[in-house]
Chain A
């Protein structure tokens, strides 16, 4: 039997309940929600309630006057127990009242002492003492962190301090918190050995589009509603950006848009597009894995040869000449003019078809849908969305560049119904001092740690164990190195603080690493930590972020933090203050002075110190007034009581993201060169199955809250791997059997899920699961700028177990709707 809550009645929100603006803290779309809170012993009535509806009657479809049990909880607010309902906001332009299977569980995924949800949340600092983690005060924990850290850093050399820090918005990210950590590590310090939450280096995921002058979030979601063609590349928005798909792309299709989906796999996005637009208006280009660059260069060549380009736009807004930026160690392809790119990227229909596995007719049809001018000669409005399929795919720099080439050539950037944009994972919320000192290519942190690099490691909401590549080896080494420190600490139980710090430093000088973990839960890499510091998420603090169309909103704090957990920005400030004190005590006064400027009391102080310093019009008060529709960045001013934003970038045809003074966009000159990352071609040759991988609708990123959500874990008690039924039969597999996926770099496990639409020998495994890390079988190969290549992975598969009792409850039916 499926999991059921057996909740058949919910408290009614009363008239006068407190109402808070909430942007969903999960995906980049950032749907608007409203959080309602009211005292525990009260509620509204069927004839007198928050919405003025007669709740003694059945409500109709899409009603505002209903909420699910997952949208309800009991939480603390200013120390008092209150009812909490978080429900979708019908007035928010992003989602128009739609809730996703993630966001509509926000309330249920809050920590509650009353209902017992999310008891896994960290509530107090812990330090490794007496052979396990012991609770302690913030001052005690931070003193230990500061003393050990101070021993390995100095004014001109901070290279032994390694930092893993999120750079995203939403969730526990946001402008306040990226500024807090950014000011500490890039302001007070100049830490070079750092990485971001989802990749092993501190780099952009989309270097090439930025180098070409085109920011990766340049449109407005409304562009999907007025486009003639929607092109989706390596992205599955029905699952991963659900309400962008349902509330904007679907409207575009209903308005007549055709859809091109480039993906080796038939996703639910393909099926849903066919349901809405009709199969005749959907072109699914199921290319050979990793051949995107060949497809885009062929399309670019064909479109240019047909003359389906915007010559005026190319002349006025793009670089004229030959090469503007030559290929070098920091640029995996040259950048230059349209003419130069046309020559460099030239690929015939025959060659493109051979590499991609498509027919020439399919490529021509795609080119027509993308670029063929309408009968009246006007531009075909084509909007392009891309994401991890190419960001974490073969030859990142050149592939993204080649896709942006098509947008530039056809004049589809900075125009209504256009845009070439990544669809995104988390929301954004980046405001930090310059990271130029990190360098490009950035250091490959995970491999450096494996090689023995780093003495102290500060981790801010990263879980390498679940979400890095070459994860099996990383875990082996990291466990060994952190255990060296734990053993040294255990051996000095009862020692003074000074003696303990000496023991830790002795262990790290012998090859150990001291690990400090800031997170909201006790993560998997947190099992290796010596100090654990509890952080909060949005809603437990005020937090600002922007979504995939640069829409900036403030989530208003609606509940107390769990225990003594604090915002990351405040933790960073306290750590800075402790470092300042310790350095001063040690007589390192000049260095101590670098840690000034962290006297923040609240997250709003951090916001004003950071984001507001660069955007003086933007304040919490003004964002509160802007509500769930917020303002689209960049903010241009404040007029008539409202912030004035920017609907779409580059409408003036001036491109700036690369910093060139001439404002001219560049084309990318990257030719096709096969599987680029080291070891991929050999792995393909030696293993039977493609292990394609990515996210599923239900599971948010590395499942950190979902792993304690019964509704989610009932559906997927372990990660799934979709396999063609014929392949399953050959392997002797029944649905739900546990398989081992193994190759030259590691092994992991998954539930076998039959998928008749899968191509034979091509599987898809969900990423980031706590009990089957897909990264174990991803090799260490990256592109030149240290962008991981997850998608091109090959392995073998064998059965290791019959279905477990949990798996026996699982439905293995098709995901495609039957109407």
Chain B
């Protein structure tokens, strides 16, 4: 039965606070929530969070991350060809929130055309164009995380460029 696909897939996938349990290796790289919040009393004071290493990434296979804290799911992705705003030696590493900015459903990655797709109401976003909404209901493009790659190839997230769904401050206020 396909009739319950709309909305319910998103509900099933979006497990509040539990997303990193499914994210495997990424969990260890995220600051404890309390520490992230402690740093966030001023606007735009984002945690610098190690997401992984360039060597860990396989082209077009997204890695689950949480940023700015564990309750904000995202992906880290090596696209395979350079894009504007891409990080790393090949200029092709990007990271996005995966909560649809329309209604907060957990989006899935479609490798064939490098888009994030929402099961809730069928919006989709282009990971090669800064998260531009290709078609959909959201009134903003996808929040993209600013990345810094150090000499060792470690990848750090250090900011976001749109408001993340479900929080009125990207860095949660205590």
**Chain B, residue nearest A242 (CB):** B137
- A150 near B: Cβ within 8 Å? no
Q: Which of A67, A271, A277, A714 contacts B3 (CB 8 A)?
A: A277
The 10 closest A-B pairs by CB, nearest first: A2-B132, A2-B130, A70-B139, A58-B71, A815-B135, A61-B104, A811-B126, A818-B110, A4-B161, A59-B166
Interface centre among B2, B9, B85, B174 (most CB of A within 10 A): B2
Q: How far is the CB of A469 from chain B (nearest CB, A)?
A: 28
A690–B38 Cα gap in the complex (Å)? 61
Cα–Cα distance between A185 and B170 once the two chains are bound (Å): 54
Known: A8-B43, A60-B166, A62-B103. A275 touches B140 (CB 8 A): no
Are A253's CB and B3's CB within 8 A? yes
**Residue of B11, B44, B159, B169 with most chain A CB atoms under a 10 A cut-off:** B169
User: A268 and B135 in contact (CB under 8 A), knowing A66-B104, A254-B3?
Assistant: yes
CB distance from A362 to the nearest CB of B (A): 22
Most chain A C-beta atoms within 10 Å of own C-beta, residue among B126, B141, B165, B168: B168
Of the 9-residue stretches B21-29, B47-55, B56-64, B115-123, which lies at the interface with chain A? B115-123
**Minimum distance in angstroms from A95 CB to a CB of chain B:** 11
Contact A58 B132 (CB under 8 A): no
Known A-B contacts A5-B162, A71-B139, A809-B129; the reply to A59 vs B14 at CB < 8 A is: no
Q: Return A521 CB to nearest CB of chain B, in Å.
A: 21
Asked if B168 and A58 make an inter-chain contact with CB atoms under 8 angstroms apart, the answer reads: no
Annotate A241-281 by CB proximity to B: 1 below 8 A, 0 otherwise: 01000100010011010000000000010011001111000
| Distance of A597 Cα from B168 Cα, bound (Å) | 51
Pairwise interchain contact B130-A61, C-beta atoms closer than 8 A: no
Residues of B within 8 A of A818 (CB): 110, 112-113, 115, 117, 124
Q: Which of B121, B165, B170 contacts A66 (CB 8 A)?
A: B165
Distance between A389 CB and nearest chain B CB, rounded to angstroms? 20
> Quick check: A61 and B11 within 8 Å, CB to CB?
yes
Cα A10 to Cα B169 in complex, Å, equals 7
Interchain CB contact under 8 A, B115 and A99: no
Known: A253-B3, A818-B124, A819-B108. 6 other contacts (CB 8 A): A1-B129, A8-B160, A275-B6, A810-B132, A813-B126, A819-B117
Interface residue count for B (Cβ, 8 Å)?
71
For B132, give its contact among A242, A278, A811 (CB under 8 Å).
A811
Residues on A lying within 8 angstroms of B by beta carbon are: 1-10, 12, 46, 55-63, 66-71, 98-101, 104-105, 108, 238, 242, 246, 250, 253-254, 256, 268, 271-272, 275-278, 697, 711, 714-715, 809-811, 813-815, 817-819
Task: Report 30 cross-chain contacts, Cβ distance below 8 Å, ordered by A residue.
Answer: A2-B141, A4-B144, A6-B161, A7-B163, A8-B169, A9-B170, A58-B166, A59-B166, A61-B10, A61-B104, A61-B106, A69-B140, A69-B162, A70-B140, A98-B103, A100-B137, A104-B137, A238-B122, A254-B3, A275-B2, A275-B6, A278-B2, A278-B3, A697-B137, A715-B132, A810-B132, A813-B113, A814-B113, A818-B124, A819-B9
Pair A101/B136 contact, Cβ less than 8 Å: yes
Q: Is B74 in contact with chain A by the CB < 8 A criterion?
A: no
- Judging by beta carbons under 8 Å apart, are B141 and A12 in contact? no
Contact (Cβ within 8 A) B2 A58: no
Whether a CB of chain A sits under 8 angstroms from the CB of B84 is: yes
- Tell me the complex Cα distance, A501–B157, Å: 68
Q: Closest B-chain residue to A257, C-beta based?
A: B3
Partner of B130, one of A1, A62, A99: A1
A10 touching B139, Cβ below 8 Å: no
Nearest B residue to A696, CB-CB = B135
Bound-complex Cα distance A376 to B49 (A) = 65
Q: Is B138 an interface residue (CB 8 A)?
A: yes
Task: Considering the complex, give the chain A residue whose CB is closest to the CB of B71.
Answer: A58
B81 adjacent to chain A (CB < 8 Å): no
Q: Is the CB of A272 within 8 A of B122?
A: yes
Beta-carbon contact of B9 and A60 below 8 Å: no
A811-B129 CB under 8 A given contacts A4-B162, A277-B2, A817-B124: yes
Q: How many A-B residue pairs have CB under 8 A?
A: 190
**Cα distance, A808 to B24, chains bound together (Å):** 37
Nearest-Cβ distance from residue A437 to partner chain B, whole angstroms: 44
* Chain A hits for B32, CB < 8 A: none
Q: How far is the CA of A729 from the CA of B17 in the complex (A)?
A: 49
> Contacts A9-B168, A817-B122: A59 and B104 contacting too (C-beta < 8 A)?
yes
Q: Are B139 and A275 in contact (CB under 8 A)?
A: no
Chain B residues, Cβ within 8 Å of A100: 137
Closest chain-A Cβ to B128's Cβ sits at a distance in Å of 8
Residue from the list A63, A67, A711 in contact with B141, Cβ < 8 A: A711
Q: Complex formed: what's the CA distance from A233 to B135 in Å?
A: 22
A159 to B23, CA, bound (A): 73
Contacts of A99 in B (CB 8 A): 102, 137, 139
| Inter-chain contacts of A810 with B (CB < 8 A) | 129, 132
Residues of B contacting A55 in the complex (Cβ-Cβ under 8 angstroms):
167-168, 173
Minimum C-beta distance from A245 to chain B (A): 9
Bound-state Cα–Cα, A238 to B11, Å: 21
A254–B6 contact, CB under 8 A? Answer: yes
Contact A6–B139 (Cβ < 8 Å): no
B172 at the interface (CB under 8 A from A): yes
What are the residues of chain A within 8 A of B4 when measuring CB–CB?
254
Question: Cβ of B168 and Cβ of A12 under 8 Å apart?
Answer: yes
Q: Check if B110 sits within 8 Å of A57, measured CB to CB.
A: no
Query: What are the residues of chain A within 8 A of B171 when measuring CB–CB?
Result: 8
Nearest chain A residue, comparing its CB with the CB of B120 = A61
Query: With a CB–CB cut-off of 8 A, which chain B residues contact A714?
Result: 132, 141
Q: Complex Cα distance A272/B134, Å?
A: 15
Q: How far is the CA of A67 from the CA of B128 in the complex (A)?
A: 26
Which residue among A5, A277, A697, A819 has the maximum number of chain B CB atoms within 10 Å of its CB? A819
Complex Cα distance, B78 from A302, in Å, reads: 57
Q: How far is the CB of A274 from chain B (nearest CB, A)?
A: 9
Q: Do A811 and B134 touch across chains, with their CB atoms under 8 A apart?
A: yes
Q: Quick check: B139 and A68 within 8 Å, CB to CB?
A: yes
Q: Identify which of B9, B16, B140 gathers the most chain A CB atoms within 10 Å of its CB.
A: B140
Please indicate the chain A residues that have their CB under 8 angstroms from the CB of B71 in the complex.
Answer: 57-58
Of the listed residues B3, B72, B117, B118, the one surrounded by the most CB atoms of chain A closer than 10 A to its CB is B3
Please, which residues of chain B bring their CB within 8 A of the CB of A2?
126, 129-133, 141-142
For B119, list chain A residues within 8 Å (CB). 819
B105 within 8 A of A: yes
Instruction: Determine which of A60, A238, A271 lies in contact with B16 in the assembled complex, contact meaning CB atoms within 8 Å.
Output: A60
Query: Are B117 and A60 within 8 A (Cβ)?
Result: no
Neighbouring A residues of B6 by C-beta, 8 Å: 250, 254, 275-276
- The CA-CA distance from A697 to B123 in the complex, in Å, is 11
Cα-based distance from A773 to B78 in the complex (angstroms): 40
